[in-house]
Chains A and B, each alone.
Chain A
Amino acid sequence: MGIPYLISIVIFLPLLGAVATMLARSDNTVRYAALITTTVTFLLSLLLWIDFDVATAAELQLRDGPFLLISETLDVKYDVGIDGLSLLLVLLTTLLGPIVVLSSWTYIGKHVKAYYTLLLILQTGMTGVFCAFDMLLFYIFFELTLIPMYFLIGIWGGEDRIYAAVKFVIFTLVGSLLMLVALLYLGFAAGDAVNNGVFTTDYFKLLEFNVPLGTQSWLFILFAFAFAIKVPMFPLHTWLPDAHVQAPTGGSVILAGVLLKMGTYGLVRFCLPFFPNAAYEYAVLFAVLAVIGIVYGALVSRAQPDAKKLVAYSSVSHLGFVVLGIFAFTIESMQGAMIQMINHGLSTGALFLIVGMLYERRHTRLMGDFGGIARTVPVLTFFMVLTALASAGLPGLNGFVGEFLILVGAFSSDTVGMPLLIALATTGVILAAVYLLWMLYRTFFGPITNAENREMADLNLREVVVLTPLAVLMVIMGVMPQPFLALSEPATTKLLATINTKRITALEDAERAEPATAPLVIDDEEFTTEPFETAPGVFVRRSVSSSARETGLPGFTEKVYRGVPSPSMGEGQGEADPRPAQRMKAVFPPNPLPPGERGQTARLRLRPDRTPAALRPHASSSHP
């Protein structure tokens, strides 16, 4: 079904709803207006899914724009659309919309109108973040989420709400302002390089632009810093527990479910492809911080007496997995990271919802105040146990798929595949069981010691309706994740290919700039080596020209072959590649085999800086 401007409708319909709620007279009208708006938005977003062509999921689809916003002298556009990286996140956002509205139905007693208005504005901001293909537009949406969240925490939050809200804003603002500086620089630099000198924030133009090696590092740091705060990565996470504990349930659900994903999404969408060399360079640092986050978050989580704080710290641990997956640069782990973002949104969202439901009944979140309530609230317990198991990564539920793909991919990664590091990350699987089962133990099992808990009401229909879609999705994405994985695989594959190509090109450019490594003209071949294996299944024969030997300048031609080595490997058996060794491109071809037959193919993870020193004519000259 081709509804025109569908994507823009999905983004801005909540904003329109916000106008409606502002004009509404009674609290109930406000609630229903918000519910209808978010539900319709969700249904429309399902159309996005239907219209989305999985075969070309790597490409931008259903695009609205680009529409020039200001003037010809400033290449800033309204440009929205979706591709495989963003579709699932958009769907997650729109799904959580009505769930959050419903869950706040009785929870929010004061300033109902303002609450729902802000909620709807927030949704527009979040959806926009995942759809924007212009960096400035992205930035505006990114900041747009800040204001409503600030008020959600600051007005409807707990006792320390002001402290938590201000902390949340300062943290995010510090990061995003630095990112803005970097963005402006990038826009001008890219404008000079690929846009006839006109400042540009067009995503594709920025993508086209190869940032010089020297600049990449600090631009990467500025961008990654902003996103790392948002994720949040250790040690920048301390705003999160405060914000979560103080925020009302709906705020927590959105915060954990969507806002944190803006950080990891930003890393994937911008940091990696814009600054691939820097990303590789800092991969180990980020992976180590991510693994610290996994273990540290889990342990601190276990130490919390407050159920909500426990869940908050568990986010630090879970998002650590996502970041690890991102910086492993393998398709498996990148796919794992993509699906883990969704999984975390579902299961942690549900955990916050359930903790909120407990809070609404007993006005406490301290686990010690509960105990044995499995008996009084069996339905709530059912949902809690299911969600906790999903969150703990039990196979058959969604969490496992993401964690397994991330870890299995990271283990065979060239950048972060250090066995000890991955082993440490895998202990997160044990620790997740430790803190989640502890919560169940303290809260739900044992004898009822507090008389108030005896009277607790089980879930009502509204609450069951709120939790059921999440629970169903946890199961479906656990046993049938493939339809979801398939949505993003072409996009992640292409992303990794782009990163690699750009990375190699940047290295080449850097080398070209050095006179000592000027390419040689080779007129005759005097010496040819036997085929070397440079990566599993990739062989190289190296020829040295006589002129090179005479002048003493390093110069080689190389022929690259794929397949089984044979001494007679020669013409016709592989494509000859006459480039000097350091210019060999790493190849990330999309896997041509159908999924069932994969795993038989040779792995092509060729990286020039990993080729044996003997094959590198001037190993020391080019690599930073």
Chain B
Amino acid sequence: MNTDLLVRLILLLPLAGAVFNGILPLFLKGMRKNEWMLGGIGTAVVAVPFVLALLLFMQGFDEAYVASYYTWMAAGDLSVSFAYRVDHLSLIMTLIVTGVGALIHLYSIGYMHGDRSFWKFFSYLNLFIFMMLNLVLADNLLVLFLGWEGVGLCSYLLIGFWYEDLKNSAAANKAFIVNRVGDFAFLMAMFILFKELGSLDFDALMAGTAQMSAGTINWVVLLLFIGATGKSAQIPLFIWLPDAMAGPTPVSALIHAATMVTSGLYLLARLSPLVLASPVIMGVIAVVGALTAIMAATIAITQNDIKRVLAYSTVSQLGYMFMAAGVGAFFVAIFHVFTHAFFKACLFLGSGSVIHGMHEVEHELHEKGHDAHLDPQDMRTMGGLRKYMPKTSWTYFFATLAIAGIPGMSGFFSKDEILFKAFEYGYDGHFYAWFVWIIGLVTALLTAFYMMRSYMLTFEGKERWPMAPEVKPRESPWTITVPLIVLAFFSIFAGFLGLPKLAETIGLGSWIHGYLAGHDGHTGPVAEAAIEGHVGVGLEIFLIVLGMAIAVVGVVWTRGFYRKHDLAGDERVQKRFGKLYGWWQGKYFWDEFYDKTVVRPVIGGAEKALAPFDQKIVDGLVNALARAMTGTSGLLRRLQTGVVQNYAMAIVLGVVVIIALMLFG
């Protein structure tokens, strides 16, 4: 099959699935009950594109191939086509999106079983995959933006999926609007690029980078980065992501961990030559990434809702990716996107499996006539689940080790590479990179701590739900556990695709580096910063050992700590950190800050000042003017009671008078 057709199929199958699952059951109520058909088709339209993407992957594409379909909009100098770009970067993203996506679709068949809007859920998920594929395959900024806003829409629809609870709808609105703030910056960046270069195609942007002044490039990169902070949940726009956990758990795994939130990184990697041309903003990116990473990690320590821990963990890991981008190591950022997709999806789906189990506990309690209220997401009412949910527990455990960066696991390779690159960049004379590096190290320790804490509180220790041993949670069905096992497998082994530079000494290279950044004189789609001062082998070994030590010590110590103290461990931590802990628990009060400085002034201003202003002043002036012209108003008062014919006659007479004047005047 030729590439044009393959790309078309990859894109259109999920769209067809979305239409089929969304429109037909909307009108044909009978279809809604047929879960296996809806879920099966929903999963197939993502799994087949994964296979097709594999076909493309095997064809190589050392040179980018552009499949252009038709002109979307053209006016004046602007011409934008539905054009898609197949190259190493887009292929790897397509594989992640469809591969992890298909697993999560499969998982959802079990997870969403019995939901009255099962059909809608699969429609939204399919639509999301379609939009995400537009985002990663686009050959110009505008089609990318279509995907960019499209995934935002799906995120909105899915966060507010259980709309009967107004809280969920509020979270959905918050997500969409905060993302739109980022999109605003993205739009402005496009305006500047179009004004400067007259095109939004990636090739033209890359070729035109040299034509633009440094100031312009700084503006463009800064605006794009602000756009990225919206989608990829960085300071200052990360606030929507933790609330987004209101959506069903598969959504959290697919959209709010594995794929959509990485699109900001993807954007920077796609435009990496442009970003590299702006060293100042690169510094901003790295520092913002580092601050976000440590901020979110400290918050994660204090959370009790298992999904919120994972949400803040996602924000923190995204921070790592931005650190990598900010030190010019875009391929490492994408590598971390890749490994993170596996272990974070595995963790989220694992938490979903737990929540599923705890829901049944709650259900059973109710059936037995107990009025026990149970928050199925609160880790404080879990504990000891390993016995009851062994597969969930093991997969969660391995994913935890992976994210903590235990040697040999995928997270170790990608995170250590980020830290190494940061160090190397600092070594090269960009001293902010050392600041970033230190924060990265501290965050690594925090990561090991909060992830192990969540594992321990959930799966080990005492069983803390009401009537614990009598009412037992059960392991989830195979549609849930199979994806978990597959994801856990990759969480463990995916890291070997990106061996550290050290491996070159034994003749092994980093596959992902060669694939994305180019090898043997061939340039890949992702640029990287030129480094002059290379770190010696001895120092590199030291850095790797340091990273290993932090992860191992963090994990082992935390395990012992919570094994000893169980829930009381949190109190000890709180006592130890005092006021600081209050800030973490309060999430640094960002929401309150925005509420005071933006939301309330704008909305309150609109309601209390602008609307009355419009009524009283703008309209009032007009009415006063009208009243002043009593003659006119008197005339009109008579008109109100008038008859149609009279009025029409008046107009006709008027016209006649005018014409007469013109003729004889």
Contacts and interface: CB of A to CB of B under 8 A. Distances in A.
Contacts of A405: 73, 75, 78
B169 A441 contact: yes
Contacts of B170: 441
B199 A599 contact: yes
A407 interface: yes
Given A433-B180, A482-B70, A598-B79, A300 B651 contact: no
B489 to A, nearest CB: 36
B191 A411 contact: yes
Contacts of B180: 429-430, 433
Given A162-B640, A299-B606, A330-B76, 16 more contacts: A74-B662, A154-B640, A170-B632, A184-B658, A238-B619, A335-B76, A379-B27, A408-B190, A411-B195, A426-B188, A429-B187, A441-B169, A482-B71, A598-B77, A599-B78, A599-B204
Interface string A361-375: 000000000001011
Interface residues of B, number: 74
B610 A296 contact: yes
B647 interface: yes
A352 interface: no
Interface string B34-47: 00000000000000
B622 interface: yes
A147 B650 CA distance: 11
A238 B169 contact: no
Contacts of A601: 77, 198
A303 B647 contact: no
Contacts of B640: 154, 162, 165-166
A600 interface: yes
Contacts of A493: 76
Contacts of A237: 618
A376 B75 CA distance: 43
Contacts of B475: none
B539 interface: no
A598 B74 contact: yes
Given A395-B145, A434-B177, A447-B164, A302 B626 contact: no
B332 interface: no
Contacts of A184: 658, 662
Contact of B142 (A150, A404, A423, A485): A404
B146 interface: yes
A237 B148 CA distance: 35
Interface in B587-646: 602-603, 605-607, 610-611, 614, 618-619, 622, 626, 632, 636, 639-640, 644
Nearest to B181: A430
Given A147-B648, A422-B191, A445 B163 contact: yes
Contact of B663 (A74, A162, A300, A401): A74
B405 interface: no
Instruction: Identify which of A70, A303, A417, A479 gathers the most chain B CB atoms within 10 Å of its CB.
Output: A303
Interface in B134-179: 142, 145-146, 148-150, 153, 156, 160, 163-166, 169-170, 172-173, 176-177
Q: What's the dominant secondary structure at chain B's contact region?
A: helix
Given A170-B626, A238-B618, A446-B164, A70 B659 contact: yes
A235 B617 CA distance: 10
Contacts of B172: 437
Contact of A446 (B169, B176, B611): B169
B435 interface: no
Contacts of A552: none
Nearest to B153: A394
A300 B659 contact: no
A233 to B, nearest CB: 12
B184 interface: yes
Interface in A294-341: 296, 299-300, 302-304, 330-332, 335-336
Contacts of B190: 408
Nearest to A396: B146
B424 interface: no
Contacts of A335: 75-76
For the complex of A and B, the 6 pairs showing the least CB-CB separation, nearest first, are: A331-B76, A335-B75, A446-B166, A411-B191, A238-B619, A599-B199
Instruction: Identify which of B71, B626, B655 gathers the most chain A CB atoms within 10 Å of its CB.
Output: B71
Interface string B461-474: 00000000000000
B607 A591 contact: no
17 contacts: A147-B644, A237-B618, A299-B605, A302-B603, A303-B606, A331-B77, A332-B75, A394-B150, A395-B146, A405-B78, A409-B76, A437-B172, A446-B164, A482-B73, A591-B77, A598-B79, A603-B77
B149 to A, nearest CB: 5
Interface residues on A, range: 35 or more
A70 B197 CA distance: 55
A438 interface: yes
A382 B119 CA distance: 14
A408 B659 contact: no
A140 B655 contact: yes
A489 B75 contact: yes
Nearest to B187: A426
A485 B655 contact: no
Nearest to B146: A395
A73 B607 CA distance: 58
B72 interface: yes
Given A331-B76, A394-B153, A446-B164, A299 B602 contact: yes
Given A379-B27, A447-B166, A591 B603 contact: no
Interface in A416-473: 417, 422-423, 426-427, 429-430, 433-434, 437-438, 441, 444-447
Given A238-B618, A302-B606, A382 B26 contact: yes
Contacts of A447: 164-166
Contact of B644 (A151, A374, A404, A595): A151
Interface of A: 70-71, 73-74, 140, 143, 147, 150-151, 154, 162, 165-166, 169-171, 180, 184, 199, 235, 237-239, 296, 299-300, 302-304, 330-332, 335-336, 372, 374-375, 378-379, 382, 389, 394-396, 400-401, 404-405, 407-409, 411-412, 417, 422-423, 426-427, 429-430, 433-434, 437-438, 441, 444-447, 479-482, 485, 489, 493, 591, 595-601, 603
Contacts of A599: 77-79, 197-199, 201, 204
A596 B164 CA distance: 48
A464 to B, nearest CB: 9
A239 B610 CA distance: 17
Given A302-B606, A335-B75, A595-B79, A426 B622 contact: no
A400 B149 CA distance: 11
Interface in B202-217: 204
Contacts of B176: 433, 437
A260 B187 CA distance: 28
Contacts of A395: 142, 145-146, 148-150
Contact of A331 (B75, B655, B662): B75
Contacts of B614: 238, 296, 300
B86 to A, nearest CB: 19
Contact of A407 (B191, B603, B639): B191
Nearest to B192: A411
Given A147-B651, A426-B184, A481 B72 contact: yes
Contacts of A479: 72
Given A445-B166, A485-B73, A300 B610 contact: yes
Contacts of B73: 401, 404-405, 481-482, 485
A161 B164 CA distance: 37
A162 B639 CA distance: 10
Interface in B647-665: 647-648, 651, 655, 658-659, 662-663
Nearest to A479: B72
Interface string B54-86: 000000000000001011111111110100000
B427 interface: no
A437 B155 CA distance: 14
Given A429-B183, A489-B75, A303 B150 contact: no
